[in-house]
Amino acid sequence: MSAKGFFQAITRKISIPVVKRFQRIPGKLAEAVREATAEKGLFIPAMKARLGEQPPISLATLVEYYLKDPAVMAAVDCISEQIAGAGFYTICEPGFEDAKKAVDEFCKDVNMDGMLIQTSKEVVLGGNCFWEKIRGKAGEQKGKLVSLKILPLSSLKFILRDKHARRHGYIQQIGSEKVEFEADEIIHFCFNPMDGSAWGTGILHSLAVTKQVDETSVRPAFLDIKARLEDDIGKIVHRYAGPKRLWKFEGVGDEKLKEEYAPTIQTAPVDADFVTNKPVEVDSLDINPAANFDGFIGHIDSQVVQGLQTPMTRLFTTPGFTEASAREATRMSDRKILLLQRVIARIVEMNVFDVILRENDIDPEKAGVRIRWGMQDRPEVKIEHIIQLAQITATSGIEYLTREEVRNMLAKYAGFELQEDEANRSPAEKANQQ
User: pLDDT tens digits for 160-207?
Assistant: 998 888 899 999 999 999 999 999 999 999 999 999 899 999 999 999
pLDDT class for 146, splitting at 50, 70, 90? very high
Distances (CA, A) of 92 to 297, 299, 361, 363, 376: 53, 50, 16, 12, 13
pTM check: above 0.85: no
- pLDDT at residue 392, rounded to an integer: 82
Lowest mean pLDDT among 68-77, 122-131, 348-357, 389-398: 389-398
Sign of the dihedral through C-alpha 221, 222, 223, 229: positive
pLDDT in tens, 95-115: 999 999 999 999 999 999 999
- pLDDT at residue 342, rounded to an integer: 96
pLDDT class for 16, splitting at 50, 70, 90? very low
pLDDT class for 62, splitting at 50, 70, 90? very high
Distances (CA, A) of 343 to 152, 157, 347: 21, 23, 6
pLDDT in tens, 312-359: 666 666 666 666 766 777 777 788 899 999 999 999 999 999 999 999
HSE (side-chain half, CA atoms, 13 Å) at 224: 12
pLDDT class for 19, splitting at 50, 70, 90? very low
Query: What average pLDDT does the chain have?
Result: 81
Q: Which helix (H) or strand (E) holds 291?
A: none
What are the start-end ranges of the H helices in 241-350?
254-256, 262-267, 294-308, 312-317, 323-348
- pLDDT at residue 216, rounded to an integer: 87
The 3-class secondary structure across 85-149, one letter per residue, is CCCEEEECCCCCHHHHHHHHHHHHHHCHHHHHHHHHHHHHHHCEEEEEEEEECCHHHECCEEEEE
**Neighbouring residues of 15: CB distance < 8 A, sequence distance ≥ 6:** none
DSSP structure class, residue 241? S
187 phi/psi in degrees, rounded to 5: -100, 115
Sign of the dihedral through C-alpha 139, 142, 146, 149: positive
